[in-house]
Amino acid sequence: MSSLGKRRESDAMTLMMRDFIVELIDDRTDEFIVILRGPTGSPYKGGVWKLHVQLPDAYPYKPPSITFMNKIFHPNIHEHLGTICLNVIDKDWSPAYEFVKVFDIILPQLLLYPNPSHGLNEDAIFLLMTNKEEFEEKVKEYCVLYAKEEDIIGSSSRAEILDGDFSDSEDASSDDNSEDAVAGVLEL
């Protein structure tokens, strides 16, 4: 196994050892699902999301691709595609970064402190900027509808993971064809 393959395996195993729920796809360490819980102190508290992670062949020299599989109402996350707009991290990815920190620190911080000036969900941006209370209520509503722990953690069969949880959404590809939406996958 090459050193790049060992790094992918090591990073996946580190997530598992840190008590993250991780499901390897086809027993590979370059593509897997990670369960992320909403952070305390945010309207996302109590929500649970599946994130699809794909590590490219050149990882860690090339950034991972991470997308939300079930819906979330957030200015920096595309509601239908699950792509994440996080430009600072995208530009600053380094092989020296500890991958586990993406799930320990970076994504929870994104949920705690959304950035309405760089986003993928115009409705969430507008509500956050004009009526924070209504924004937080909408976030909580999405948590109940799309991110209940009993629905997400109990539904990690391979077929459901590959299909994603967007089955009730309209065709997202026609929803936003902007360059930001395409480049919005969290590429750390």
pLDDT tops 70 at residue 113:
yes
Each residue's pLDDT tens digit, 144-174: 999 999 999 875 443 344 444 443 433 333 3
Per-residue DSSP letters for 78-121? -TTT--B--HHHHHH--TTS-THHIIIIIHHHHHHS--TTS-S-
User: Would you state the pLDDT for residue 155?
Assistant: 52
CB 19 within 8 A of CB 119: no
Whole-model pTM: value is 0.79
Tell me the average pLDDT across 79-85: 93
Tell me the average pLDDT across 99-128: 93
| Residues recognised as catalytic | 85
Q: Which domains does the chain have, with CATH numbers?
A: 3-187 (3.10.110.10)
